[in-house]
């Protein structure tokens, strides 16, 4: 029966992982950042969970009878997107990436170093300004005074709305997929056993 449970867990894990990457992630974040989607929906087993390749995953799930989908980068802000919460700065302000300038450049490793606030402010074209009452890090696009682009918005705190239905979708899919996969694998095993015996 452990073999049936292992195969059912693996089937359910791969189906759930695919849904999180192709459906859930795209509703919460920029769907073009596929590498990031893969990082935060890694498959593994054990406590704490360890990301594993297919062969090692098969062995570990068979041993632990457990499969885990998790964020192997362990980013705190991903947890906030899944549950909601308030983010507070380590210094005076939080730098919130500009939606059209910096955020689209985010990868699985976060904001590229060249676009981070400290790096930008080391460049002569970047500066802190107040635009329409909002404190921002801006950058001149050319040598002239204008045009400028907003790179980061500076805020004392940021409310992160719950937007990433990671837990809800994972639980819903497990409840619906696992029983069916267990039944399928059990029936397939019985057919092979009877065929071999008789």
Tell me, yes or no, whether 120 lies in a domain.
yes
Is residue 46 left, alpha or beta, with left meaning phi > 0 and alpha meaning psi from -120 to 50?
left
Domain count, the chain: 2
In contact, 95 and 117? CB cutoff 8 Å: yes
Instruction: Measure the CA–CA gap between 62 and 64, rounded to whole angstroms.
Output: 6
Domain of residue 170, residue span: 2-79+161-197
Q: Which residues contact 146 (CB under 8 A, 6 or more apart)?
A: 140
Q: Is 62 in the same domain as 121?
A: no
Distance, in Å, from the CA atom of 158 to the CA atom of 155, rounded to the nearest integer, reads 7
Do 24 and 70 fall within a single domain? yes
Regarding whether 169 and 124 lie in a shared domain, the answer is no
The whole model's pTM is what? 0.71
Compute how many other C-beta atoms are within 10 angstroms of the C-beta atom of residue 128. 13
Same domain? For 124 and 189 the reply is: no
Q: pLDDT value at position 196? A: 62
Tell me, yes or no, whether 12 and 49 share the same domain: yes
Same domain? 13 vs 68: yes
Residues 22 and 64 in one domain: yes
| 100/71 same-domain check | no
For residue 39, how far is the Cα from the chain centroid? 6
Same domain for 7 and 103: no
Q: Are residues 146 and 99 in the same domain?
A: yes
3 state DSSP class of 85 = strand
Domain-located, residue 84: no
Quick one: average pLDDT of 185-190? 92
Residue 77: pLDDT above 80?
A: no
Q: pLDDT-derived band of residue 80, with 50, 70 and 90 as boundaries?
A: confident
The Cα 79–Cα 66 span in angstroms is 21
Give the Å distances, CA to CA, from 89 to 49, 79, 118, 184: 29, 17, 14, 50
Kindly state whether residue 108 falls inside one of the protein's structural domains.
Answer: yes
> Which of 79-93, 96-110, 145-159 is most confident?
145-159
Looking at the fold, whether 152 and 179 belong to one and the same domain comes out as no
pLDDT tens digit sequence for 132-154? 999 999 999 888 888 999 999 99
Nearest to 35 by CA among 117, 118, 109, 108: 108
| Residue 121 resides in a domain | yes
């Amino acid at each position: 029966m452990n073999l049936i449970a292992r195969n059912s867990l693996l089937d359910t894990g791969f189906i759930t992982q695919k849904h999180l990457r192709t459906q859930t992630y795209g509703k919460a974040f920029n769907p073009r950042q596929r590498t990031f989607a893969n990082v935060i929906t890694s498959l593994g087993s054990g406590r704490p969970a360890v990301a594993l390749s297919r062969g090692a995953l098969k062995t570990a799930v068979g041993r632990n009878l457990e499969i885990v989908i998790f964020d192997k980068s362990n980013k705190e802000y991903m947890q906030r997107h899944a549950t909601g919460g308030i983010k507070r700065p380590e210094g005076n302000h939080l730098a919130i990436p500009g939606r059209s300038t910096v955020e689209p450049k985010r990868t699985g490793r976060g904001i590229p170093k060249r676009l981070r606030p400290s790096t930008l402010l080391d460049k002569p074209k970047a500066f802190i300004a107040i635009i329409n009452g909002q404190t921002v890090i801006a950058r001149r696009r050319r040598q002239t005074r204008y045009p400028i682009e907003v790179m980061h918005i500076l805020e004392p705190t940021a409310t992160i709305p719950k937007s990433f239905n990671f837990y809800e979708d994972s639980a819903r899919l497990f409840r619906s997929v696992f029983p069916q996969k267990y039944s399928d694998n059990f029936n397939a095993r019985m057919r092979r056993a009877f065929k071999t015996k008789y």
